Structure 1
């Protein structure tokens, strides 16, 4: 299956947008009041994280890429890394608050978050970090300066 970088980027952006995490105090309080709702929500979050991870993995299947593609890939990596930080904080809050009530669901959450982190690292390595030439180092610096 040949995907374009743009198709992969679009999939990753949609997957990031579908991760719904409570953020306001009222949302969190409501969330914390209903353990059954919590369990269902975490299961849905896990599915969204898995979707994001799968979308990111597809980036490594793309054949030829150009400098513009690398810019998009760099943006996607940074966007996904930001989501990862939020997801890690969410995991620790869940574990601390509900670890004894829904341990299997929370453990699964840790697994999908770790998978996402590994995939982000793999994609980053595939496109940027293993490129040791001066040309690639300069391009990577230019991309970071643009973002």
Structure 2
């Protein structure tokens, strides 16, 4: 959202001004942590398969800042969004036992054995799909914002 607003300078300034100082500080702290982890990882000679190993191989085309920014986004995306969505969906299912019962009935009646369960067959269950979509809507974590421009304002 922040990136899109940059095309409208007045709106962008208003949006940047409205971001709480504590949020900017958290973003700065996260960026510094990601930067430190990337520098430590890039400095090691050990070759282990992870997302940074691919960035390390392509390092000639990327600056350290680009690698650090990418790592910061990947760390946030992988650590919080799915966990929050699953925890929130589970919470709602436990608070509404009739919904959990309907979901359980659909899943249990669709499969005779555990071996029959896979992503394709799960995707064909309409109630399960609806529960997952609703869980994502109610507990979606939006973590992308352009921190490089937000942090300049607060210095």
TM-score w.r.t. the length of structure 2 is: 0.30
Task: Determine which structure has more spread, i.e. the larger CA radius of gyration.
Answer: 2
